[in-house]
């Protein structure tokens, strides 16, 4: 389970009042994994998640025992959407016994749809491919070894359930590790906006300042203040994963010469290696094209190779960048490589 309490707490408001449907087969699960799953259900119920547990195994006695022993608020119910909804409205977990049913089969998907599930979570044997989060379209076009399973998950999202989680039933604490982190530990197929790049909002400024603070120290980025960001709010973009800001970039336009500076590029350490930096730079370049800007430049102390090798930038003489920016750079005493890119 995650140790970062802040990372966990950021999900509580978005989970509150939502319906999560969990499908499991207790016959296949280890005693410890099943016990941990029940503990995770307690934590979810405590933050007001409305829970439906569908047990597809032949013997449900172990689940009943654990639910009673852990003092969960629960009630056994038939696989009927209206009856399940009534249990949920009373603040109880609804336990549905459905021995032999396919965890992603039509009966279970129909029940999940009837109760308005925002997540359909299924605990299954370990997958041969783990890809964290993929869109509905990616799942429907998947060609790897899990093709059939991913296609079915994509179809479920297409049918209206926003997210399908495919989790390793042997992983102890898998529910908390998956649901309370941006990247998770299983495979999530999503049909809603999981990853997006958008304009920064005023409410994001404090998050941005906290996020780039470490880079100001470690990578010698130009210090930023609340007032500076607020004054140039239209220049900034943020990348969000599951609604949480994990990266940023700015495009500062200039008229003499007509160009733009790609600046304040940062991705949280916990989200490195996912290609997010490339996505942010591409978004800044797209913004420049929309504004009719013919070329962009960047100043870098450590990431010049990343820009030149991966993003098509080339070295740029200092005399080509805007005079104001040139003067600020010289006055700062920073040793920076200047790189530029002509936009098509």
Percentage above 90 pLDDT, the chain: 67
Would you state the pLDDT for residue 215? 57
- Least Cα distance to 204 among 238, 242, 249 occurs for 238
- How far apart CA 47 and CA 39 sit, in angstroms, is 13
What pLDDT, on a 0 to 100 scale, did the predictor assign at position 223?
Answer: 60
Which residue blocks in the chain are alpha helix, DSSP H?
Answer: 5-9, 12-15, 31-46, 61-69, 81-89, 106-114, 136-140, 147-158, 174-179, 205-218, 226-231, 276-290, 304-310, 323-332
* Gap between the Cα atoms of 279 and 195, Å rounded: 11
- CB-side neighbour CA atoms (13 Å) of 43: 18
Residue 201: asked if its preceding bond is cis (omega within 30°), the reply is: no
Give residue 243's region: left, alpha or beta (phi > 0; psi -120 to 50): left
Residue 243: pLDDT band (50, 70, 90) is: confident
Does residue 150 register a pLDDT over 50?
yes
Contact 128, 147 (CB under 8 A): no
- Is the pLDDT reported for residue 244 higher than 70? yes
pLDDT grade for 216, boundaries at 50, 70 and 90? low
Q: Residue length, the chain? A: 344
What's the mean pLDDT in 230-243?
90
Per DSSP, 202 falls in state G
Nearest C-alpha neighbor of 265 from the set 322, 212, 190:
212
Phi, psi for residue 279 in degrees, rounded to 5:
-60, -40
Cα separation of the two ends of the chain: 46
Q: What's the whole-model pTM score?
A: 0.74
CATH 3.40.630.30 residue ranges of the chain are 196-342
Tell me: the pLDDT tens digits for 97-136?
999 999 999 999 999 999 999 999 999 999 988 788 899 9
Res 221 pLDDT > 60: no
- Could you tell me the fold of the domain covering 196-342? Aminopeptidase (3.40.630)
As a CATH number, domain 5-192 is: 3.40.1160.10
Answer whether residue 242 shows pLDDT above 50: yes
Domain limits, CATH 3.40.1160.10, in the chain:
5-192
Per-residue pLDDT tens for 291-318? Answer: 999 999 999 877 788 899 999 999 999 9
Share of residues in the chain with pLDDT > 70 (%): 94
Read off the pLDDT of residues 161-206 as tens digits, 9 standing for 90 and up. 999 999 999 999 999 999 988 778 999 999 988 889 999 999 889 8
Nearest to 147 by CA among 189, 114, 115, 111: 189
pLDDT at res. 300: 85
pLDDT for 5 equals 63
Pairwise CA distance, residues 172 & 160, whole Å: 30
Amino acid 22: pLDDT: 98
Q: Please identify which residue in the block is written with the tokens 């140790």.
A: 3
Q: What is the mean pLDDT of the chain?
A: 89
- Choice between 10 and 319, residue whose per-residue pLDDT is larger: 319
Cα distances from 112 to residues 21, 36, 182, in angstroms, run 6, 23, 23
Q: By three-state DSSP, how is residue 4 classified?
A: coil
Burial status of residue 122 (CB atoms within 10 A of its CB: 0-12, 13-18, 19 or more): buried
pLDDT score, position 231: 87
**Model pLDDT for residues 12-23, shown as the tens digit of each residue:** 888 999 999 999
Task: Write down the pLDDT at residue 2.
Answer: 43
User: What confidence score (pLDDT) does residue 67 get?
Assistant: 87
pLDDT at 336: 85
> CB count, 10 Å around CB of 311?
17
At residue 4 the predicted structure's pLDDT band, cuts being 50, 70 and 90, is: low
**HSE toward the beta carbon, residue 74, CA cutoff 13 A:** 23
């Amino acid at each position: 389970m995650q140790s970062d309490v802040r990372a966990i707490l950021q999900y509580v408001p978005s989970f509150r009042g939502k319906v999560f449907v969990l499908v499991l087969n207790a016959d296949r699960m280890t005693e410890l994994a099943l016990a941990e799953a029940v503990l995770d259900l307690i934590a979810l119920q405590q933050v007001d998640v409305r829970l439906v547990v569908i047990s597809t195994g032949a013997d449900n006695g172990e689940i009943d025992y654990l639910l009673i022993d852990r003092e969960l608020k629960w009630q056994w119910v038939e696989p009927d959407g209206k009856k399940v909804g009534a249990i949920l409205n009373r603040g109880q977990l609804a336990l549905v016994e459905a021995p032999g049913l396919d965890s992603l089969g039509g009966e279970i998907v129909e029940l999940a749809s009837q109760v308005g599930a925002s997540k359909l979570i299924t605990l299954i044997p370990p997958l041969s491919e783990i890809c964290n989060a993929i869109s509905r379209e990616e799942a429907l076009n998947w060609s790897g070894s899990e093709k059939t399973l991913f296609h079915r998950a994509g179809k479920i999202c297409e049918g209206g359930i926003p997210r399908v989680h495919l989790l390793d039933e042997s992983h102890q604490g898998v529910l908390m590790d998956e649901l309370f982190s941006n990247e998770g530990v299983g495979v999530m197929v999503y049909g809603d906006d999981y990853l997006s790049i958008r304009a920064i909002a005023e409410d994001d400024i404090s998050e941005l300042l906290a996020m780039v603070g470490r880079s100001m120290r470690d990578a010698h980025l130009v210090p930023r203040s609340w007032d500076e960001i607020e004054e140039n709010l239209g220049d900034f973009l943020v990348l969000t994963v599951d609604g949480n800001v994990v990266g940023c970039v700015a495009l500062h336009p200039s008229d003499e010469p007509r160009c733009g500076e790609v600046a304040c590029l940062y991705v949280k350490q916990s989200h490195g290696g996912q290609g997010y930096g490339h996505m942010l730079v591409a978004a800044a370049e797209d913004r420049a094209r929309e504004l009719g800007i013919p070329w962009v430049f960047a100043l870098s102390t450590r990431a010049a190779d990343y820009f030149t090798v991966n993003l098509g930038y080339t070295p740029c003489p200092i005399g080509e960048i805007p005079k104001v920016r040139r003067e600020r750079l010289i006055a700062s005493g920073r040793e920076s490589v200047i790189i530029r890119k002509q936009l098509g």
